[in-house]
Amino acid sequence: MSQTSDQMELREEDIRKHYAAALAMLEGFDHAPRIASAERAPAPERSPGVGTRRAFRSTTPGLVTRRQVRPEGVQLLPRIEGGNGGEGLVTPVEAAVQSALRRAVAIALAVGEQYSDLTGLADLKRSNLAGALAQDKRAAFSEMLTAEALVTLYTFANATAFLLASHAGEDSVEIGDVEEVLTENGQLALHGALWELDQDIAAFATTEPRLVATVLAFAEALMTKVAGRAANAPRLEPFVAAHWKVEADGLNIEGFTPARKARGSALTMTFKKPHEVVGNHIAKYQALRLAKMLMAYDFDRRMNPFAELGGFIFTFMGDGAPGTGKTTLIQMMAGLINDYCQVAGYVFRYQNLSTDNIDSYQGKSGQNARAFIDSIIDPGVIGFGTIDDIDTLAGKRGDRQSSAGQLEITAVLMDAFAGANTVVRGNCTFGMFSNYPENVDDALRQRAGARFLVDGPQTRDDYIDILSLLLGKKHDIPLGEHELFAAQEIKKAVAASFESHNRPKEDGLIRVYERVSRDIGKLDTIAKLGTYLKGIQEADPRFTGRAIKNITDAVKVRAMDFELPDEWMENPELFLFKDYETKFSMIESLRKPITVEMVIQEINRYADSEFRYADKSDEVAIENMVRDFGRSEEAKRRYVAQKAQGDG
């Protein structure tokens, strides 16, 4: 076991010496289930009940999905081979699953052995075997055996999911909770897990793609179950603190954190070029900058200089009326990142969280949201996650119209974007988009570090440009006196857009600005700017410390308001493939000084958006109350009229 930086190498010989034991387990062993039922029918998926096992949606009439225990014991290798109808030859997919399981069991046994050596458990086992274990050591011995079982189980599931990730297809299987989790010792724990995996393969693996999907679903469920048990179990610190690397597989074992194989997304969207985004100058400008910021991420250090220097946009909110270009903005940004990653050879992962992820089954919506987050924040990829129509996807707390599933998603997103365990590495960003941001939960909306106002075309030139763009070239209509797309020249347009925020735009904020300026004069010191912020808070109590953080982050983004040269993206050797310290120095040398004008503009930009949301939210609430009062008055009128007729 050799030391490599903060990781220890799990040597290949330490793994391979467990191959014989791993193969013997897969070939067959006897196991009587102690927690799970030996035979049970899975409950239907999306059941409103709690604590049941869910089955996949079968499209095969009469398909049996009951778990069966064979009298000869657990024989996983024959079980896997039985999926091909007894043709006699093992298919490549079946062989891959068998090989991955053998390798995963061997890795789990090796890590369990390492844990045993690190903690002194190996010595206690020898003493116990010899009948010489001291009475005062028995409690510690029992706790260590439980910890060893949890370590072995999690490592087995983690390695299985990692090794099979490249074989995953579009099929998915829901197996429910893993039940046969035994913690007396590592070997018995593996027996229980393999017994239950055998049951799941028999029930769900009706095709080769479903075989892989079943094993992956089992591995994910087992990791979740074991991690939950480990949260309250003692004597796990040596495993959590140690980081192992399996060099041959590229597998990193870091406590109870799942290792993810870097797989990109198969993107089918139509990418847009920057000139095809008409108007939306600041939003387009920041999206262009952010796409290049992501590419500064260092995969060895697992950190981005922009995240360390300040100014990296981890989350942003894009809002605007329907038809103003939010989808086009997403297509442009995803296209840029995809192109940059292809040049650099990086894995790019794009995913959208949509209303399809809201599930009636209790807890499933939250699981979907968590899986979305985990997929994008994977430190082995460049990630871009979008949440379109977030006002309909994430529920507003206190709103009786919000479903349980929507509120689950809100809770997951809030924790992921600014929770106690949130780590911003700078390899990914999340964009929330909405036509009605006033309907988004206040606390969730304030977790958007940047605001992209997607207001679409605004000027005469914008409308000429978008008309010409959408008409295409298959016509003979002359352009007329107009320089096509000149108004979309980004630097000129953005400078004008930022200058427009020297003064606020929303009526409520204008009143605060004018009052504070009248009382204390020009806002040219930190004390005066702080007074302005306090005035905003007095006008809108929702303007909290988180709002100040978002404003200062936006100011830091402005300090990083420089163009990373296109040739740095086109030739990776110039920047992308440099070591972290070199990239850090190159970026720091380009940083601009922070000015009072920047701070005022960003205060006004952010506060304008909050006042705009509040005004819309209040107006909607007032309109609803007016309708309710109208209905009440009409009901009273009809009641009085009907009562008068009845009395007559």
Q: What is the DSSP string of 77-114?
A: HHHHHGGGTS-SS--HHHHHHHHHHHHHHHHHHHHHHH
Please give the Cα distance from 309 to 556 (Å, whole number).
9
Higher pLDDT, 364 or 524: 524
Higher pLDDT, 205 or 542: 205
Please give the Cα distance from 169 to 172 (Å, whole number).
8
Residue 62 scores a pLDDT above 80: no
Q: Do strands 7-9 and 251-254 pair parallel, antiparallel, or not at all (unpaired)? A: unpaired
**What pLDDT score was predicted for residue 38?**
61
**What pLDDT score was predicted for residue 64?**
37
**What pLDDT score was predicted for residue 486?**
67
Work out the average pLDDT over 419-445: 87
**What pLDDT score was predicted for residue 446?**
84
- pLDDT tens digits, one per residue of 375-386: 899 888 999 999
Residue 49 scores a pLDDT above 90: no
**What pLDDT score was predicted for residue 57?**
33
Torsion of Cα atoms, 54 then 60 then 62 then 65, to 10°: -30
**What pLDDT score was predicted for residue 413?**
94
Yes or no: domain 280-456+501-583+592-620 corresponds to CATH 3.30.9.10: no
Please give the Cα distance from 180 to 191 (Å, whole number).
9
Work out the average pLDDT over 338-362: 87
The count of other CB atoms within 10 Å of the CB of residue 587 is: 21
Q: Which two tokens stand for residue 49?
A: 């009940």
**What pLDDT score was predicted for residue 615?**
57
With b meaning 16 or more CB within 10 Å and e meaning fewer, what string describes 181-216?
bbbebbbbbbbbbbbbbbbbbbbbbbebbbbbbbbb
Residue 169 scores a pLDDT above 70: yes
Max avg pLDDT among 189-198, 384-393, 435-444: 189-198
Higher pLDDT, 470 or 154: 154
Residue ranges of the chain assigned to CATH 3.40.50.300: 280-456+501-583+592-620
Residue 71 scores a pLDDT above 50: no
The sign of the dihedral angle between the CA atoms of 397, 623, 450, 504 is negative
Please give the Cα distance from 58 to 52 (Å, whole number).
18
Please give the Cα distance from 328 to 272 (Å, whole number).
7
Q: What share of the chain is helix, strand, coil (3-state, %, to 5)?
A: 55, 5, 35
Contact in structure between 178 and 129 (CB atoms under 8 Å): no
Q: Percent of the chain scored above 90 by pLDDT?
A: 40
**What pLDDT score was predicted for residue 295?**
94
Please give the Cα distance from 34 to 184 (Å, whole number).
12
Torsion of Cα atoms, 465 then 469 then 472 then 478, to 10°: 0
Residue 421 scores a pLDDT above 50: yes
**What pLDDT score was predicted for residue 188?**
95
- pLDDT tens digits, one per residue of 75-112: 999 899 876 555 567 888 999 999 999 999 999 999 99
Q: Which two tokens stand for residue 344?
A: 């650099």
- pLDDT bucket at 56, cuts 50 / 70 / 90: very low
Residue 347 scores a pLDDT above 70: yes
Contact in structure between 513 and 507 (CB atoms under 8 Å): no
Burial degree of 263 (CB within 10 A; 0-12, 13-18, 19+):
middle
Instruction: Determine which of 131-135, 251-255, 454-458, 473-477 has the lowest per-residue pLDDT on average.
Output: 454-458
Work out the average pLDDT over 321-333: 82
**What pLDDT score was predicted for residue 489?**
60
User: Rounded to 5 degrees, what are φ and ψ at 104?
Assistant: -65, -40
Residue 532 scores a pLDDT above 70: yes
Residue 70 scores a pLDDT above 90: no
Instruction: Determine which of 43-52, 122-131, 163-172 has the lowest per-residue pLDDT on average.
Output: 43-52
Kindly report the average pLDDT of the chain as a whole number: 83
- pLDDT tens digits, one per residue of 199-247: 999 999 988 889 999 999 999 999 989 998 998 899 999 999 888 989 8
Work out the average pLDDT over 186-202: 94
Work out the average pLDDT over 1-16: 71
Work out the average pLDDT over 386-404: 86
Q: Scanning the structure block, which residue is given the tokens 């028999």?
A: 202
Instruction: Determine which of 46-50, 112-116, 493-497 has the lowest per-residue pLDDT on average.
Output: 46-50
Please give the Cα distance from 21 to 23 (Å, whole number).
6
**What pLDDT score was predicted for residue 1?**
44
Instruction: Determine which of 83-87, 178-182, 612-616 has the lowest per-residue pLDDT on average.
Output: 83-87
Beginning with the edge strand found earlier in the chain, give each strand of the sheet holding 251-254 in spatial order. Answer: 3-4, 7-9, 243-246, 251-254
Please give the Cα distance from 324 to 78 (Å, whole number).
58
- pLDDT bucket at 263, cuts 50 / 70 / 90: low
Work out the average pLDDT over 390-394: 89
**What pLDDT score was predicted for residue 194?**
96
Q: Which two tokens stand for residue 179?
A: 């039940």
Please give the Cα distance from 66 to 232 (Å, whole number).
33
Please give the Cα distance from 81 to 202 (Å, whole number).
11
**What pLDDT score was predicted for residue 526?**
93
